Structure 1
Amino acid sequence: MIKLALKPVFSAWLMTLLMACSPLKVLNAFNPGDTFNRTSDLAYGPDPRNKLDIYTPKDAAPDAPVVVFFYGGSWISGSRGDYAFVGEALASRGIVAVLADYRLYPQVHYQELLRDSAQAVGWTHAHIRQFGGDPAKLYVMGHSAGAYNAAMLALDPQWLAAAGTTPSIIKGWIGLAGPYDFLPIEDPEVMPVFYFPNSPPDSQPINHVSAASPPALLIASVEDTEVNPQRNTGGMASRLRAQGVSVREVYFSRTSHRTLVGALARPLRSLAPVLEEVAAFIHAQDQAQVSSVSVSH
């Protein structure tokens, strides 16, 4: 009972600390090191940002499932090291996690960062057996801008084709607070990434849904003020269902746009069962296709 009573107090204290300090560094400071083995700074391409880290679960089962994770940051900022807590979270559930950097604006526009993301997935598919993962159980996942990257790789065949493979290598995709249908662009920082006002319609993931799209888990926060959950998560889920694609759509009321991914970290897991949803979705694919369902918490 005492432990249960302390949880809200600790969460409130931690949220105050997160607002005062660098939030991701605080979350990583609570990261245990006994659930994974990390292999760092592996190059998947020629650019200095074409690097990835792999988190392999300790005592991993043979042929473990694999998730390639892309972080957010409006395609203008971010570093894989800031999201070590995501690698630990997935590894703690028996999943090999691959966290990849990719080039950002102004170095590149959206096409090039998608090419980088596709290269990271292609490299993972070719090499992950060396790190305990099964390439036949490969998933892509992202938060915010990173969920856009994951969606485009899963839905638009041109990107993985350019990396020498196809979306058929993706068993499923997971989007956390992802932007999938966001024209016209309102954020001034994002406008140049997509050449706005000349952003092409095929830059939008929702325009690439087909009956061949892989199963999806789409999670959002009810009160997200950065990426409209009804238009993006809800609209994508509806489009997938219309094509007969299996999708699980989940909304949480106690998280924000940013704490949705933060809920993967041990100190914030009481906010919402994001990790449980991700792990259940991935492990369910080994048994059968998930049912098409919408859930709110």
Structure 2
Amino acid sequence: MRWSALGLAIAAIVYLGNVMWFSPVDFLNGLAAFANNRAATDVPYGTGPRNQLDIYRPRGGAERLPVAVMFYGGTWKEGDRATYRFVGAALAKRGIVTVIPDYRVYPEVRFPDFLRDAAEAVRWTRDHAADYGGDPTKIVLIGHSAGAHIAAMLALDPQWLVNVGLNGRRDIRGMVGLAGPYDFLPLTDPKLKDIFGPADQRARTQPINFVDGKAAPIFVAAGTDDTTVDPGNTTRLARKIESRGGQVAAVLYPGVDHRTLIGTFSPLLRSRAPALDDTVRFIQDVTQALPPSSGKSFKRAPATTNAE
């Protein structure tokens, strides 16, 4: 019997899973290890222990490739870039140089310090993308869950990238938000209240409040079965961007929950929703088009059912 590389990978993971405990993400990252796309790990972009990132580079030595900076979720309280190796490997396999940074989280920091870290990571990417085959003029931000909030804030509120010498409407080609919280007031959780500060200042923490129709193109997606972040965050943000004349594509994937959505970037769950295909298509569209200052928009929305 002849086995494909994918078949061998799955067999090895299943076998090991029978003899030792694995978390669900271990299974997803087990396949990513076979891809061997990590070009660099533990690269500092700042001075703190959580100001480090990993870079995933497509094989083949191509240059001037699109670049994604991916911010993971964790309720702004936790997370580890190594957990998302399967995301970096999936995007690199599709020809996208991918940077996954850690950033400081609660209780070490509160809003907006994690945005400052994220902006510094984008600045580092702009400065160093070419070292890994990426085109520094073709950067797209991606985020899942709390990471989608971070990506959206960088894309919609100009101040965070301006603080690191970047212009989001010139230097960012687009933003992808997966299962993101963009319009989540009022808060009831005590820790979230502490993270986002006094009630009279929380409006400045909401991405939806910074929509003016001038940001780079945005693709937002969520699963209809998400009980962690209300999918209404996705539809409300899309409607607001559209009402202001901005460029937006949105989709809700039937039967997909919060964690499964990002999990579909792995071959093990890819049949559940075409989130990877839609994300890659969006990145290709916005990076193949002329820069935002040219007035040319991305060509097409994801080939899935649009959110209502």
Cross-structure match for 1:80: 81
Q: Does the 8 A contact of 1:152 with 1:205 survive in 2?
A: yes
Give me the whole-angstrom Cα distance separating, in 2, the residues matched to 1:31 and 1:255: 22
CA distance in 1, matches of 2:262, 2:200: 31
Supply the RMSD in Å over aligned alpha carbons.
2.3
Residue equivalent to 1:204: 206
2:294 corresponds in structure 1 to none
Q: In the aligned structure 2, how far is the partner of 1:235 from the partner of 1:81? A: 32
| Alignment-mate amino acid for residue 224 of structure 2 | V
- Which segments of 5 or more consecutive residues in structure 2 lack a partner in the other structure? 1-9, 290-296
Task: State yes or no: 1:180 paired with 2:189.
Answer: no
Q: 2:7 is matched with which residue?
A: none
1:88-138 deviation digits (Å, cap 9, x = unpaired)? 010010000000000000000011110000000011001110110001110
1:25 aligns to 2:34 (yes or no): no
What displacement does 1:292 show?
6.2
Please give the secondary structure, in 2, of the residue aligned with 1:31. Answer: helix
Distance in 1 (alpha carbons) for counterparts of 2:275 and 2:148? 15
Match of 1:295 among 269, 281, 305: 305
Separation of aligned partners in 1, 2:211 and 2:155: 9
Q: Which runs of 5+ in 1 are unaligned?
A: 1-9
Check conservation: 1:150, 1:173, Cα contact below 8 A: yes
Kept in 2, the 8 Å contact 1:246–1:291? The answer is no
Q: What's the CA shift for 1:211?
A: 2.4
Q: Report deviation, 1:32.
A: 4.2
In 2, distance between residues paired with 1:227 and 1:176?
10
CA contact (8 A) 1:66 1:139 kept: yes
Q: How many pairs does the alignment contain?
A: 283
Q: State the identity %.
A: 43
Q: CA deviation digits over 1:121-161, x for unaligned, max 9?
A: 01100111011000111000000000000000001011011
Q: Separation in 1 of the partners of 2:240 and 2:199?
A: 25
Question: Does structure 1 conserve the Cα–Cα contact (< 8 Å) formed by 2:45 and 2:52?
Answer: yes
Q: TM-score, normalised by structure 2?
A: 0.86
1:74 aligned counterpart, secondary structure = coil
Name the residue aligned to 2:228: 226
Q: Distance in 2 between matches of 1:252 and 1:196?
A: 35
Residue 193 of structure 1 pairs with residue 195 of structure 2: yes
How far does residue 242 in structure 1 lie from its aligned partner after superposition? 1.1
- Take 1:34 and 1:200, find their aligned partners in 2: how far apart are those partners? 42
Distance 1:199 1:263 in 2: 36
Which stretch of the first structure deviates more once superposed, 73-82 or 247-256? 247-256
Runs of 4+ displaced beyond 4 Å: 291-294
The alignment's TM-score, normalised by the length of structure 1, stands at 0.89
Query: Secondary structure in 1 aligned to 2:177?
Result: strand
Q: Secondary structure at the match of 1:244?
A: coil
Q: Which moves more between the two structures, 179-188 or 282-291?
A: 282-291
1:102-251 aligned at under 5 Å gives the runs 102-167=103-168, 168-230=170-232, 232-251=233-252
Could you tell me how far 1:196 is from its partner in structure 2? 4.9
Q: Is the 8 A contact 2:88 2:100 kept in 1?
A: yes
